[in-house]
């Protein structure tokens, strides 16, 4: 088994670079002091994100491929959230010397697959030893002549819309933490005791955690359709919606019944996780309220789905991939006290939505 300490940096790069996408905006790729990327409209969008082992991923669950996919996804989502099209990225990778070379080449393949739908290139990087795995990616995008879609542009009367999956990543993490799904994932679904192929569904949730697949094209479509604000949902819907509300000086009211399809997908996993974690009456196990509470927590507070939240002027025909999930109101308009009301409400109410909510601090 080859470990990275057995090879020089140049030998490792020789194995990685051929795995990486060149990219359609790349004017000069890896190998010199710097790369050169096209920026056709005279501007470019840039964002950086760092992933640290045991903070943002666990090596016992995530392969190198998974970490590459995740790193690409969460960075590309930041570009999409500006309404921009990703053009290229650079990567700093810190790896302990005893890391298997296969982890590093797997990482490169994951990065490449994460970029595949976008045409973005992996145009440069730096590699170093260190005490734990650290991945820092900087990604760039092209606004194609449009204005960037900021967090601060939501206006009262706008429709709030969502693209991507909701709560899947949090559910997938819970399935791993409770041992209900083990990695590596099997390639064939397993039949469970009641005769329903539930584990296939569960594996989709775990995959959403390990290899998030943000709705990158939906970001560009939102920009083209005149979205007034947008952001990447990385820290949970309520928390991130609060950022838009505060930046825009508005209140966001989310529909209590939104995300019906996601709830349906999450329900069997929530029942199993609730039972495995001892929710409910010791004799009877979790009831519907426990299960609904868990689904609600994943939907409203679950992080790392990397879906997109945007606002559109009332009457906008929502582009493909987007679903209306709420309304923008003037800030504090229904509040008769001295303090401004909550920045985000669900069905007009503050965030008390049943069991489980005590674990969440907005």
Binding region for its own copies (CB under 8 A): 27-28, 32-50, 52, 55-56, 77-79, 81-82, 84, 88, 90-94, 123-126, 128-132, 134, 136, 138, 140-141, 143, 148, 150-152, 230-232
Q: Which residue has the tokens 């996804």?
A: 73
Q: Which is nearer to its own copies, 249 or 287 (CB)?
A: 249
HSE, side-chain direction, 13 A CA sphere, residue 191: 3
Q: Which is nearer to its own copies, 205 or 309 (CB)?
A: 309
CA distances 250 to 98, 170, 240, 243, 346, Å, are 51, 28, 14, 10, 14
Q: Which is nearer to its own copies, 128 or 186 (CB)?
A: 128
State whether residue 32 is helix, strand or coil: strand
CA dist 159 and 307 (Å) reads 17
Q: Is 54 annotated as a binding residue?
A: no
Q: Is 158 annotated as a binding residue?
A: no
Q: How far is the CB of 59 from its own copies (least distance, A)?
A: 13
Q: Which is nearer to its own copies, 79 or 331 (CB)?
A: 79
Question: And the tokens for 354?
Answer: 């049943």
CA dist 1 and 7 (Å) reads 12
Q: How far is the CB of 190 from its own copies (least distance, A)?
A: 36
Element (H, E) at 88: strand 85-95
Q: How far is the CB of 314 from its own copies (least distance, A)?
A: 24
Buried-exposed string 241-256: b where 16+ CB fall within 10 A, e elsewhere: bbbbbbbbebbbbbee
CA dist 226 and 319 (Å) reads 10
Q: Is 257 annotated as a binding residue?
A: no
Q: Is 126 annotated as a binding residue?
A: yes
Q: Which is nearer to its own copies, 234 or 316 (CB)?
A: 234
> Which among 84, 75, 89, 76 has a CA at the least distance from the CA of 40?
84
Question: And the tokens for 176?
Answer: 């791993």
DSSP character at residue 346: E
Strand partners, 251: 329
Q: How far is the CB of 126 from its own copies (least distance, A)?
A: 5
Q: How far is the CB of 303 from its own copies (least distance, A)?
A: 14
Q: Is 359 annotated as a binding residue?
A: no
Q: Is 142 annotated as a binding residue?
A: no
State whether residue 109 is helix, strand or coil: helix
Q: Which is nearer to its own copies, 112 or 181 (CB)?
A: 112
Q: Is 100 annotated as a binding residue?
A: no
Q: Is 6 annotated as a binding residue?
A: no
Q: Which is nearer to its own copies, 104 or 175 (CB)?
A: 104
Q: Is 271 annotated as a binding residue?
A: no
Q: How far is the CB of 96 from its own copies (least distance, A)?
A: 11
Q: How far is the CB of 52 from its own copies (least distance, A)?
A: 4
HSE, side-chain direction, 13 A CA sphere, residue 322: 26
- Binding positions for substrate: 56, 304, 357
- Binding positions for Mg(2+): 33, 47-49, 78, 126, 232, 235
- Binding positions for ATP: 125-126, 151, 234
- Binding positions: 33, 47-49, 56, 78, 125-126, 151, 232, 234-235, 304, 357
């Amino acid at each position: 088994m080859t470990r990275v300490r057995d090879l020089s940096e140049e030998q490792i790069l020789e194995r990685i670079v051929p795995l990486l996408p060149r990219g359609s905006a790349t004017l000069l790729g890896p190998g010199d002091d710097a790369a050169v990327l096209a920026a056709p409209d005279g501007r470019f969008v840039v964002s950086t994100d760092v992933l640290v082992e045991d903070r943002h991923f666990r090596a016992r669950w995530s392969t190198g491929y998974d970490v590459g996919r995740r790193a690409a996804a969460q960075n590309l989502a930041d570009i999409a959230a500006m309404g921009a099209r990703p053009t290229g990225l650079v990567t700093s990778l810190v790896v302990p010397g005893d890391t298997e070379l296969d982890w590093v080449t797997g990482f490169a393949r994951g990065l490449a697959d994460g970029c595949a739908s976008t045409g973005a290139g992996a145009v440069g990087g730096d590699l170093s030893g260190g005490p734990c795995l650290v991945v820092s990616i900087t990604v760039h995008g092209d606004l194609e002549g449009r204005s960037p879609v900021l967090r601060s542009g939501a206006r009262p009367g706008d429709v709030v819309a969502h693209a991507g999956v909701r709560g899947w990543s949090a559910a997938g993490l819970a399935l791993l933490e409770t041992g209900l799904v083990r990695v590596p994932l099997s390639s064939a679904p397993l039949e469970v005791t009641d005769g329903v192929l539930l584990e296939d569904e569960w594996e989709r949730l775990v995959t959403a955690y390990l290899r998030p697949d943000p709705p990158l094209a939906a970001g560009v479509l939102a920009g083209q359709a005149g979205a007034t604000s947008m952001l990447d949902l990385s820290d949970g819907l309520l928390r991130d919606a609060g950022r838009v509300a505060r930046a825009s000086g508005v209140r966001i009211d989310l529909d209590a019944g939104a995300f019906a399809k996601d709830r349906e997908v999450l329900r069997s996993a929530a029942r199993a996780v609730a039972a495995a974690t001892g929710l409910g009456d010791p004799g009877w196990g979790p009831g519907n309220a426990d299960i609904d509470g868990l689904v609600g927590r994943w939907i409203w507070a679950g992080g790392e789905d990397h879906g997109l939240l945007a606002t559109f002027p009332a009457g906008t025909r929502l582009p493909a991939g987007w679903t209306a999930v709420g309304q923008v109101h003037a800030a504090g308009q229904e509040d008769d006290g001295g303090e401004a009301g909550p920045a985000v409400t669900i069905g007009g109410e503050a965030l008390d939505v049943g069991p489980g909510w005590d674990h969440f601090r907005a």
